[in-house]
Amino acid sequence: MSATRAPTRWCWSWKNGGVEVHRLDTAWFPVQLRLSARLRGGRWAGHLRTEHRTVELEAIHAIWYRSPKAYRFPPELNTVELDHAKVEAKYGLGGVLMSLPVLWVNHPSRLADSAYKPFQLAVAARCGLNVADTLITNSKASVESFANEGRTVTKMLGAVSIVEGGVRKFAHTDLVDDAGLGDLRGIEVTVHQIQRWVSKKHEARIFVVGNHITTVAIYAHSVSGYIDWRTGYDSNTYELIEPPASVVAGVRRLMTEMRLVYGAFDFIIGPDDTWTFLEVNAGGQYGWIEEATGAPITGQLAELLTKGNSDRNRD
Site for other proteins in 179-218 (CB under 8 A): 180, 183-190, 192
Least distance from C-beta 170 to other proteins, angstroms? 5
C-alpha span between 152 and 130 (Å, rounded): 17
Residue 276: closest CA among 217, 176, 207, 204: 204
Site for other proteins in 218-237 (CB under 8 A): 230, 233-234
Strand 130-131 to 237-241 pairing: unpaired
Between 9 and 43, name the residue whose CB sits nearer to other proteins: 9
Between 188 and 239, name the residue whose CB sits nearer to other proteins: 188
Between 177 and 239, name the residue whose CB sits nearer to other proteins: 177
Between 20 and 149, name the residue whose CB sits nearer to other proteins: 20
Per CB under 8 A, the segment of 10-18, 124-132, 240-248, 252-260 that binds other proteins is 10-18
Between 229 and 275, name the residue whose CB sits nearer to other proteins: 229
Per CB under 8 A, does 70 bind other proteins? yes
Between 15 and 151, name the residue whose CB sits nearer to other proteins: 15
The DSSP annotation for 92-133 comes to HHHHHHHTS-SEEET-HHHHHHHT-HHHHHHHHHHTT-EE--
CA 115 to chain centroid: 7
Site for other proteins in 134-163 (CB under 8 A): 154, 156, 160-163
Least distance from C-beta 104 to other proteins, angstroms? 11
Strands annotated E in 210-288: 212-219, 237-241, 262-269, 275-281
Plot region of 171 (φ>0 → left; ψ -120 to 50 → alpha; else → beta): beta
Per CB under 8 A, the segment of 19-27, 120-128, 207-215, 295-303 that binds other proteins is 19-27
Least distance from C-beta 92 to other proteins, angstroms? 10
Per CB under 8 A, the segment of 39-47, 66-74, 206-214, 237-245 that binds other proteins is 66-74
C-alpha span between 282 and 120 (Å, rounded): 11
Whole-Å CA distances, 182 to 58, 122, 256: 60, 30, 43
Per CB under 8 A, does 314 bind other proteins? no
Per CB under 8 A, does 113 bind other proteins? yes
Site for other proteins in 265-284 (CB under 8 A): 281, 284
Site for other proteins in 46-65 (CB under 8 A): 50-53
Per CB under 8 A, does 243 bind other proteins? no
Angle at 104 between CA 280 and CA 203, to 5 degrees: 20
Per CB under 8 A, does 38 bind other proteins? no
The DSSP annotation for 191-205 comes to -EEEEE----SEEEE
Least distance from C-beta 173 to other proteins, angstroms? 9
| Number of amino acids touching other proteins (CB under 8 A) | 80
Name the helix (H) or strand (E) containing 38.
Answer: strand 34-40
CA 203 to chain centroid: 18
One-letter identity of residue 309: N
